[in-house]
C-alpha cells in the first residue's frame, strides 16, 4: 500500500540531510552529538518559533562509568552489563535489564581509584546540555524515566499546545505523534542502531529513521531532518 498524501492537505515530506560527524565538529557545548550543524539548525527553528524533536535511543545521563586508573566498568552484579548513570536527584547507577540500582560510588570497587569517568551520552545528558546552550528555550525529555503512565500524555499535551520548544526522547518520540509545528527532527546518533548481533539491525534502523522523520513538516511549514552519523556511505 502506498500512502500518497500526508495527514494534512498541502503538507510535504521533509528534506533529509546527513551530518558527517567525522567532518563536522561539535557546537559550543563541546559534545559531538550536538554538532555545529545541529546547533545552527536549532537556532533557526527557535528564531522562527518552531519546534524540534531530537531522537536518541539511550536513556539516562551516561551509558557507562569507568575507572580511568584500571579501566574497570561499573557493572550490574546480576546481569554483567554496564550500569547506566542517572543524575536526576541523587546520582545513581542503574541496570536497565533488572532494575538493580546503587548510589554512584566515589572510588573504583576494583582498584580504589578516585577518577571515575562518564562515558557516552543519554537523553538526560542531552537535555541538560540543551538547557545550558539555549537558556531561553523550553526543553523537555520523553523517555521511560520521566513518562510513566499518564505523565507521557501530559507531556505530549504540552507539546501540542506549543509549551515545549525542544523535545528530546527515545523511541517514544518516533511513532504516531502529530505535531504540526515541528519543523526539525534530528537523529542524534544513527550509528547506535547500525551494528549489533542482529543481522536485521540496519533494516530496523532504516525503519526507525523513516518513522521519526515523519514527525517533521506535518503542517503548513516545511520540515527538515538531520541524521548524524560517522558512516554516511552506509
* Residue from 144, 132, 134, 131 nearest 57 by CA: 144
> Which three-class secondary structure state does DSSP give residue 209?
helix
Angle at 123 between CA 209 and CA 60, to 5 degrees: 125
For position 63, what pLDDT does the model report? 87
For position 86, what pLDDT does the model report? 92
Count CB atoms within 10 A of the CB of residue 226.
Answer: 24
For position 114, what pLDDT does the model report? 87
For position 149, what pLDDT does the model report? 67
Q: What is the Cα Rg of the chain in Å? A: 19
What contacts 191, CB < 8 A, 6 or more positions away? 229, 230, 231
CB 85 within 8 A of CB 103: no
* Strands 51-55, 101-103: pairing kind: unpaired
Kindly report, residue by residue over 155-213, the tens digit of the pLDDT: 999 999 999 999 999 989 998 899 999 999 999 999 988 887 788 999 999 999 999 99
Rounded to whole angstroms, the Cα distance separating 83 from 184 reads 32
CB 16 within 8 A of CB 223: no
Which ranges of the chain have pLDDT less than 50? none
| pTM for the model | 0.89
For position 109, what pLDDT does the model report? 86
Report the percentage of the chain scoring pLDDT > 90. 65
Rounded to whole angstroms, the Cα distance separating 100 from 159 reads 32
For position 223, what pLDDT does the model report? 93
Amino acid at each position: 500500500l502506498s500512502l500518497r498524501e500526508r495527514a494534512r492537505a498541502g503538507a510535504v515530506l521533509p528534506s533529509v540531510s546527513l551530518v558527517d560527524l567525522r567532518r563536522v565538529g561539535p557546537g559550543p557545548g563541546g559534545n559531538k552529538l550536538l554538532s555545529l550543524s545541529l546547533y545552527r539548525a536549532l537556532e533557526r527553528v527557535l528564531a522562527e518559533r518552531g519546534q524540534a524533536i531530537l531522537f536518541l535511543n539511550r536513556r539516562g545521563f551516561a551509558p557507562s562509568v569507568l575507572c580511568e586508573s584500571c579501566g574497570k566498568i561499573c557493572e550490574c552484579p546480576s546481569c554483567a552489563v554496564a550500569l547506566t548513570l542517572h543524575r536526576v536527584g541523587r546520582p545513581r547507577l542503574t541496570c536497565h535489564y533488572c532494575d538493580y540500582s546503587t548510589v554512584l560510588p566515589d572510588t573504583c570497587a576494583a582498584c580504589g581509584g578516585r577518577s571515575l569517568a562518564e562515558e557516552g551520552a543519554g537523553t538526560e545528558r542531552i537535555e541538560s546540555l540543551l538547557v545550558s546552550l539555549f537558556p531561553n528555550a523550553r526543553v523537555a525529555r520523553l523517555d521511560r524515566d520521566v513518562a510513566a503512565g499518564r505523565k507521557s500524555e501530559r507531556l505530549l499535551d504540552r507539546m501540542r499546545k506549543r509549551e515545549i520548544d525542544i523535545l528530546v526522547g527515545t523511541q517514544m518520540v518516533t511513532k504516531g505523534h502529530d505535531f504540526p509545528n515541528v519543523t526539525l527532527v534530528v537523529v542524534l546518533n544513527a550509528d547506535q542502531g547500525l551494528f549489533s548481533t542482529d543481522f536485521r539491525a540496519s533494516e530496523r534502523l532504516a525503519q526507525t529513521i523513516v518513522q521519526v522523520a515523519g514527525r517533521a513538516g506535518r503542517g503548513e511549514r516545511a520540515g527538515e531532518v538531520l541524521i548524524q552519523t560517522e558512516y554516511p556511505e552506509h
